[in-house]
Amino acid sequence: MRPKLVTTDDIDAPYDAVLLAVKAYSLDAAIDDFAAAVGPETTIVPVLNGMRHVDILQERFGKEAVGGGVCKVATTIDSDGRIVQLATFQELAYGERDGAVSPRMEEFDAFMRGAGFDARLSRSIEYEMWEKWVLLATLGGITCLMRGDIGEVVAAPGGASFILSFLDEVVTVVAAAGRAPKPAFVEGARTTLTTPGSTQSPSMFRDLQQGSPIEADQIIGDLLARGRKAGIATPLLAAAYAHMSIYQRRIAKS
């Protein structure tokens, strides 16, 4: 079955749900595009990285309209504009951010199942959003700052120690500003991020290598700001953000 494709001009009534899946730097433009689809009963399910988008969406549409979501998939776009999947996992989780199982999320869950990927209703989606941010900020900060994948950084002198220090900074900020990651998750991250020979890298690093825009402000900059507000010293995050900011300004001029 082919989906019905609509453009902004075709929206003539509120939708039951809006699944928002754009790069964070395109959020403002996307909001203008789908605003006509949001009514009093519409559920917005964003699967953007970080947490900044939640504040922006709530300010525009109200707290009750905004649910939570996490998408886990590894993809890239090849030279022909095709989406290439780099790993076998393809998971979408969603739910109310307060952990309740609401009728609207049960309806959304029923609709999403059977679509060809792993879809699940979560009772702890806000925690999962913070948890993903820990991994993305650490992976993105490390690989973009060092211009290499995890295995290459581990192989460098002091590389593993640098990785663990960066992770500690991120975890400290998230624990103070949001939802502290569970010890088992942190231990797993420490192991994964210091695996010799690992080719692991995030889409942000791949975008940087291709000269494309990156989500530096949302993944690193916003976390850095939250750390400063909490009075936490984050020299490694600050270095990564400065490096990314220089890159962003350079490509903006090109």
Q: What is the pLDDT of residue 85?
A: 77
Mean pLDDT of 124-152: 97
Average model confidence (pLDDT) for the chain? 94
pLDDT at position 108 over 90: yes
Question: Of 176, 179, 145, 177, nearest to 159 (Cα)?
Answer: 145
Mean pLDDT of 103-109: 96
Rounded distance between C-alpha atoms, residue 182 and residue 56, angstroms? 27
% the chain with pLDDT above 70: 100
Q: What is the pLDDT of residue 1?
A: 62
Question: Of 189, 216, 193, 194, nearest to 205 (Cα)?
Answer: 216
* Adjacency order of strands within the sheet including 118-121: 68-77, 83-95, 118-121
Q: Are 221 and 241 in contact (CB under 8 A)?
A: yes
Q: What is the pLDDT of residue 83?
A: 78
Q: What is the pLDDT of residue 3?
A: 79
Structure tokens at 159: 């590389």
Mean pLDDT of 2-22: 91
Mean pLDDT of 166-175: 98
- The 10s digit of each residue's pLDDT in 28-86 is 999 999 999 999 999 999 999 999 999 999 999 999 999 999 998 877 777 777 877 77
pLDDT band at 115 (very low <50, low <70, confident <90, very high): confident
pLDDT band at 215 (very low <50, low <70, confident <90, very high): very high
Rounded distance between C-alpha atoms, residue 85 and residue 76, angstroms? 7
Rounded distance between C-alpha atoms, residue 204 and residue 137, angstroms? 10
The model carries a pTM of: 0.92
